[in-house]
Amino acid sequence: MKRITFLLIVCLIFLQTSAQEPHAYTIFRSNGEPISFAAMADELALSDITLFGELHDNPIAHWLQIELCHKLSDKGKALVLGAEMFETDNQLILDEYLNGRISQSRFESEARLWPNYKTDYKPLVEFAKDNNILFVATNIPRRYASIVASGGFEILDSLTPNGKEYIAPLPVDYNPELPGYKSMLSMMGMPGKMGTKNENFPKAQAIKDATMAWNIAKKLEKGKLFIHFHGTYHSNNFEGIVWYLNRYKPKATQKTIATVLQTNANELSDENKNLADFIIVVPERMTRTH
């Protein structure tokens, strides 16, 4: 009896100590069931598209992105990569670099790269270059998103034919009742009935979602997995890019990943359940890349 009591005490101490150990992340299914990184990768390999939603300044999300590419590539899965962080009118210079026609320094000085490119997105581009993988610049040029934010979708009709090649086909479907778009107004302190100008802000988000989805759909290849990297808001709750992909490529299978911050990373909070097929939970105190 004393031996059993001793073992129970030891087990209790071990469990308490384990609970106090810091965890950099935990991955959950949409219902809150924990899942390993390897098991998630195996499931993602069976889909046509993986939409990897990140927090732009989160080092864990960026690390898991490159780890996922290596994991799937090592398993023999053929990949295509794409990202919000590259605009469609930069595809040429991106291709020139990946194909070895221009130097790294020339690419990095002339492409419109995000400030955190070297720490967060360069590893993905270099992975694509080293493995001869197509990398797609999917996002609308920011100048076009900006004019939509002030003038609505109609202003895109005035673009030249060359300009229209960089965006999703017009006219663009739009559902202003999608919760993600509706919440943008309140997030910015703008009630939805304040006027046309304010109602155009979600349209700027929508044209980004549509253009990213359109470029993913165009570059899908049979037998290859397209992994797309973007801010998690663009695919949370299976909206945004997902909504448009269901229109542009309805038969393609999709899996989504969301990244969230929580005080406790050991379990998925109710508010983050059903956010995506897989949710990466990172402690709120995690350091940031910028």
**Following DSSP, what letter does each residue of 131-180 receive, concatenated?**
TT--EEEEEPPHHHHHHHHHH-GGGGGGS-HHHHTTSPPSSPP--TTSHH
As a whole number, mean pLDDT of residues 267-277 equals 97
Predicted local confidence at residue 20, as pLDDT: 64
- Examine residue 161 and state whether it is found in any structural domain, yes or no: yes
Predicted local confidence at residue 176, as pLDDT: 94
Residue 215, SS3?
helix
- Examine residue 53 and state whether it is found in any structural domain, yes or no: yes
Domains: count for the chain:
1
- Examine residue 14 and state whether it is found in any structural domain, yes or no: no
For residues 31 and 63, give the distance between their C-alpha atoms in angstroms, rounded to a whole number.
24
Predicted local confidence at residue 35, as pLDDT: 98
Looking at every residue in the chain, the average pLDDT score rounds to 91
Indicate the pLDDT class of residue 4, thresholds 50, 70 and 90: low
- Examine residue 16 and state whether it is found in any structural domain, yes or no: no
Answer whether 273's CB lies under 8 Å from 29's CB. no
- Examine residue 13 and state whether it is found in any structural domain, yes or no: no
- Examine residue 6 and state whether it is found in any structural domain, yes or no: no
50: exposed, middle or buried (Cβ count in 10 Å: 0-12, 13-18, 19+): buried
- Examine residue 99 and state whether it is found in any structural domain, yes or no: yes
Residue 49, SS3?
strand
Predicted local confidence at residue 198, as pLDDT: 81
* Weakest-pLDDT range from 1-15, 43-57, 96-110, 131-145: 1-15
Q: What is the pLDDT of residues 40-82, one digit of tens each?
A: 999 999 999 999 999 999 999 999 999 999 999 999 999 999 9
Q: What is the pLDDT of residues 223-263, one digit of tens each?
A: 999 999 999 999 999 999 999 999 999 999 999 999 999 99
Q: What's the CATH number where 251 sits?
A: 3.40.50.11550
Percent pLDDT > 70 in the chain is: 89
**Domain range for 194:** 44-283
For residues 204 and 214, give the distance between their C-alpha atoms in angstroms, rounded to a whole number.
15
